Amino acid sequence: MSDRPIIRFLDRSTPPHILTLILLAGISALAMNIFLPSLPGMTAYFETEYRLIQLSVALYLAVNAGLQIVMGPISDKLGRRPVILGGLGIFLIATLGCIFAPNILIFLTFRMIQATVVVAMVLSRAVVRDMVPEAQAASMIGYVTMGMAVVPMIGPAIGGVLDQAFGWKANFWALFILGAAVFWLTWRDLGETAPKSGHSLSQQFRNYPELLTSPRFWGYSLAAALASGAFFAYLGGAPFVGDRVFGLDPATLGIYFGAPAIGYFAGNFISGRFSVRAGVNRMVLWGTLANASGIGLNLLLFYAGLGTPLTFFGLMTMMGLGNGMLIPNATAGALSVRPHLAGTASGLSGAMMIGGGAALSALAGALLGPETGAFPLLWIMLCTAIGAIAAIGLVIWRERSLTMA
């Protein structure tokens, strides 16, 4: 495609409007976190343990990861439009299943099926890379995810209010209604952006080694996976910390919980404004440093006995800031290693990010207890943040070595 594709809103014969891409990414983010303030109440409703209901986060992320491995090559073969619409349709059916689930096992089953909505987030990024080259893609992805950041910022707050007023099911009804609206918008506006592949699906899957043997792809993907791993651990552990450590009610927890999204919004804005000028590698490095700094300071305050809800959640804005700076740029870098495999690269890098997040979310839920406080969660987050610095550091070192050779 040309650098400046012709776009007409609600005309699917052209590439999609940026608003459609923002809302596609937003509904995927909302499905992940709107109901988190309800986890303690859902534990009582299903008469189960918190560690089991917390699997609604970890299992959801695990299925997300598996789907992304498959959806990338499929979208490179069949196109972005049919895969996105199919995923949204299955998501709507699964959401109704969550609402009417009679027990925890059936709920968790439909919750895992809900993960098909991840096509909206992953392929919206691939659509951007289809439309514009790498430097512009980093900037445009930054703006798309900046808009997306508004959703997780207000999602838990709205979810907490809905839970307190109408019960936990109100969150899933909200997901169904909003998901249906996004499905309609996508049907009307999303024009196909991927050139048709002449390869079979088996040939598409055989393209994975081309990516997996690229050090640059690994560096960008691991930087994004490890930095966002801190956020996914937060998703799994912060509701417990807010409820059991600080004694917050669902509405208050929902308001505090959205703190990282404030930083994420700012980080995405910085990416949108400065990625082209500063370059992908520099933006990723700055993001990893901001991420690790906020988590490290948070941990030091707890060891000093100064940890409060305000400091714990407030410093998470630094984690959000760092992720907002690095994820759009690391994603653009990973998708640009082999531009003709943008969908495959998006799926594979996303699978690494979400799969690692699922494991860290489950680990945080398993290690947290009444006697542990917030320490296990913060240590998990800090270790992954340091790993992200190492990953992008190796990419920068390798590129400098090749330049000097």
pLDDT digits (tens, 9 = 90+) for 138-150: 667 766 766 665 6
- Least Cα distance to 378 among 261, 291, 310 occurs for 291
Q: What is the pLDDT of residues 333-349, one digit of tens each?
A: 887 777 666 667 777 77
pLDDT at 360: 81
Mean pLDDT of 242-254: 83
Report the first-to-last Cα separation within the chain, whole angstroms: 34
Does CATH number 1.20.1250.20 belong to domain 18-404?
Answer: yes
- CA pair distance 120, 135, nearest whole angstrom: 22
Q: Helix, strand, coil: what percent of the chain each, to 5? A: 85, 0, 15
- Answer for the pair 133, 3: CB distance below 8 angstroms, yes or no: yes
Rounded Cα–Cα distance for residues 163 and 94 (Å) = 20
Per-residue pLDDT at 2: 45
Confidence of residue 108 (pLDDT cuts 50, 70, 90): very high
pLDDT given for residue 48 in this prediction: 85
The two structure tokens encoding residue 143: 């703006």
Name the DSSP class of 16.
Answer: P
Q: Whole-angstrom Cα distance, residue 38 to residue 222?
A: 31
d(CA 261, CA 244): 23
pLDDT at 3: 52
Q: Which residues make Cβ contacts (< 8 Å) with residue 255, sequence separation at least 6?
A: 156, 157, 160
Rounded CA separation 171/182 (Å): 16
- Cα–Cα distances in angstroms (integers) from residue 249 to residues 18, 57, 170, 292, 359, in the given order: 37, 20, 17, 29, 27
Q: What is the pLDDT of residues 2-15, one digit of tens each?
A: 455 566 777 777 77
Looking up tokens 């809103």, which residue turns up? Answer: 9
**What is the rounded CA–CA span in Å between residue 49 and residue 44?**
8
Query: pLDDT band at residue 355, thresholds of 50, 70 and 90?
Result: confident
Which tens digits make up the pLDDT trace of 281-325? 899 999 999 999 999 999 999 999 898 999 999 999 999 999 988
More confident residue, 84 or 205: 84
What integer pLDDT is reported at residue 135 of this predicted model?
A: 59
Task: Report how far residue 248's alpha carbon sits from residue 240's, in angstroms, rounded to the nearest whole number.
Answer: 10
- Report in angstroms the alpha-carbon separations of 36 from 131, 139, 168: 35, 30, 10
Residue 226 has pLDDT above 60, yes or no: yes
d(CA 116, CA 87): 5
Q: Is 1 helix (H, G, I), strand (E, B) or coil?
A: coil
* Cα separation values, 50 from 31, 42, 61, 154, 242, Å: 19, 9, 17, 24, 13
Q: How far, in Å, CA of 251 to CA of 126, rounded?
A: 36
CB 236, CB 384: distance < 8 Å: no
In angstroms and rounded to an integer, the radius of gyration of the C-alpha atoms of the chain is: 20
In sequence order, which residues have a C-beta less than 8 Å from that of residue 352 and are 6 or more positions away?
A: 65, 221, 222, 224, 225
The closest of 223, 238, 220 to 384, measured between CA atoms, is 223
- Select from 144, 192, 130, 178 the least CA-distant residue to 22: 144
Position 401 scores a pLDDT of 80
Average the pLDDT over 227-233 and give the result. Answer: 85
144: CB partners within 8 A, 6+ apart: 18, 21, 22, 25, 124, 125, 128, 328
Residue 323 contacts residue 178 (beta carbons within 8 Å): no
Integer Cα distance of 16 and 190 in angstroms: 5
Position 93: which residue type? I
Q: What is the pLDDT of residue 146?
A: 62
Q: Which two tokens stand for residue 304?
A: 């000093």
Question: Stretch 99-114: mean pLDDT, rounded?
Answer: 93
